[in-house]
Amino acid sequence: MTYEPHGKHLIAGAWVGSDDTFASQPVSGPAHHTANGGAAEVDAACQAAEEAFWTYGYSTRAERAAFLNAIADEIEERGDQITDIGTRETGLPEARLQGERGRTTGQLRLFASHILDGAYLDQRHDAALPDRAPLPRPDLKMVQRPIGPVAVFGASNFPLAFSTAGGDTASALAAGCPVVVKGHPAHPGTGEIVAEAIKAAIEKTGMPAGVFSLIQGNTNDLSAALVNHPLINAVGFTGSLGAGRALFDMCAARPTPIPFFGELGSVNPMFLLPSTMSERGAEMAAGWAGSLTMGVGQFCTNPGVVVAIDSPETDAFIAAATEALSAVGAQTMLTEGIANAFRAGRDRIAGTKGVREVLTSTCDLRNATPYLFATTGAEWLANHALGHEVFGPLGLIVRVADADEMRAVARSLDGQLTCTLMMQDDDTDLARALMPVLERKAGRVLVNGYPTGVEVCDAMVHGGPYPASTNFGATSVGTLAIRRFLRPVCYQNLPDALLPTDLT
């Protein structure tokens, strides 16, 4: 079923246009013109969000759970239309978008269940001790409370699961925080139809209209206006290191600084240990090639770097990976900008001293083909830039001299979303030596798997030390994500009539 966008913002329950517009750049079908927001639209949305907070921030968990489930229902009701506009705008295959839609609705339902359970509130009570000497103790109660309106930036590579109704929005709404989304200009129609679903859920459940707004636009001024608005209390962002760092600095420079929860970049290194290389090198090469090129390498957990000890088995691994990657044809990237950045990254790696080209080809426009390069541990350690992310299907194999140099490479890493150990029982001693390093470097450590699958559940951590994310104590996936948009409040000697309902 074809969906034709109307190209407007959703602000406080109303669809609002503007004279200034930008044209989408779909992979197929006609371009559509979408309203380009600015400071006026940001102020209207933020004012509405602040007003909504006085109701929504004090709603019951049951009411918010019903709202989240209603959003999921409305998204599912529009499933075919979402897939239609999503494939046209992004070039992602139908199956990928259908799966991502399921992840999006699953996140919403997971948070609905999570808040009903109530454990996230971390309630604490120290009863009064009036007879304690030398001083009495007052009655103290603590609970997590929502922080207020939150800004969310849609991501280019996940038009559903990390965008309009994605994980940041779901966790903020679950916490009791109204949300203002800055839609990603790569898929404005997809963002619009999901916003229609949220609007329908607002009306169905009787939530205040300002609890959610979507502002479309493709200018840096719009982003700056949203981050700097005094009524915004936190920002959720998934995107490039350059853009994310600029927004992070804005958040810190505000008269009242606010937290910036940004997921910015990671090369997700895989350490292939000697015994497993001997036993299943060809199998790992095929698996790595598949993970590296999945979704044209446009995943934040794309495993772009392999570290292996120099040996004939490593030669065989490289040969098998080259063969597997050679069979992968050109694929369409999400945007022209991403494709251009991928080629620039390729050229940067290829032009680095000590890097050998293993597999190269020609790609143009929005098309991308796999690239494979190899270097030594010594060259890696001498050139920090080799550890910078190239967003796309590009792999770099680092051949280290021995286990000591492997540990040195691990210690040289910037913060990562993931680090992976491919190992067998005979590799346990080396793996044990690497573990203290890897757990300091990454938010998730894997054994004998590929990091491109991120399960949405209680135990998942999708974050890590900078630049993987800007707040190492947070995650953007899983139920712990809700804690980003809460703060603890202590109530001393308050009568029950004044306490939040979650404490009575």
The count of other CB atoms within 10 Å of the CB of residue 117 is 11
Distance between CA atoms of residues 461 and 475, nearest Å:
5
**Residue pair 456/477 in contact by the 8 Å Cβ criterion:** yes
* Helix locations, 78-143, DSSP H: 79-90, 94-117
Please give the radius of gyration of the chain, using alpha carbons only, rounded to the nearest integer: 24
pLDDT value at residue 476: 96
Distance between CA atoms of residues 194 and 166, nearest Å:
10
Distance between CA atoms of residues 476 and 456, nearest Å:
10
Query: Which one of the listed residues 46, 177, 300, 419 is annotated catalytic?
Result: 300
Q: Is 74 a catalytic residue?
A: no
pLDDT value at residue 2: 87
- Strands (E) in 401-438, as ranges, are 416-422
**Residue pair 425/399 in contact by the 8 Å Cβ criterion:** no
pLDDT value at residue 364: 78
**Residue pair 22/34 in contact by the 8 Å Cβ criterion:** yes
* pLDDT by residue, tens only, the chain of 504 residues: 789 999 999 999 999 998 899 999 999 999 999 999 999 999 999 999 999 999 999 999 999 999 999 999 999 999 999 999 999 999 999 999 999 999 999 999 999 999 999 999 999 999 999 999 999 999 999 999 999 999 999 999 999 999 999 999 999 999 999 999 999 999 999 999 999 999 999 999 999 999 999 999 999 999 999 999 999 999 999 999 999 999 999 999 999 999 999 999 899 999 999 999 999 999 999 999 999 999 998 999 999 999 999 999 999 999 999 999 999 999 999 999 999 999 999 999 999 999 999 998 877 788 999 999 999 999 999 999 999 999 999 999 999 999 999 999 999 999 999 999 999 999 999 999 999 999 999 999 999 999 998 999 999 999 999 999 999 889 999 999 999 999 999 999 999 999 999 997
Helix H or strand E encompassing 151: strand 150-153
pLDDT value at residue 354: 95
Q: Is 363 a catalytic residue?
A: no
Q: What is the pLDDT of residues 436-459, one digit of tens each?
A: 999 999 999 999 999 998 999 999
Distance between CA atoms of residues 80 and 370, nearest Å:
31
* Helix locations, 118-256, DSSP H: 167-175, 188-205, 220-228, 241-253
pLDDT value at residue 86: 96
SS (H, E, C) 374-387: EEEHHHHHHCHHHH
Query: Which one of the listed residues 263, 313, 389, 405 is annotated catalytic?
Result: 263
Q: What is the pLDDT of residues 324-383, one digit of tens each?
A: 999 999 999 999 999 999 999 999 999 999 999 999 887 778 899 999 999 999 999 999
What DSSP state is assigned to residue 155?
A: P
Sheet holding 124-126, edge to edge: 124-126, 140-146, 486-492
Q: Tell the residue number behind the tokens 């992968």, with chain if given.
A: 328
Distance between CA atoms of residues 88 and 438, nearest Å:
40
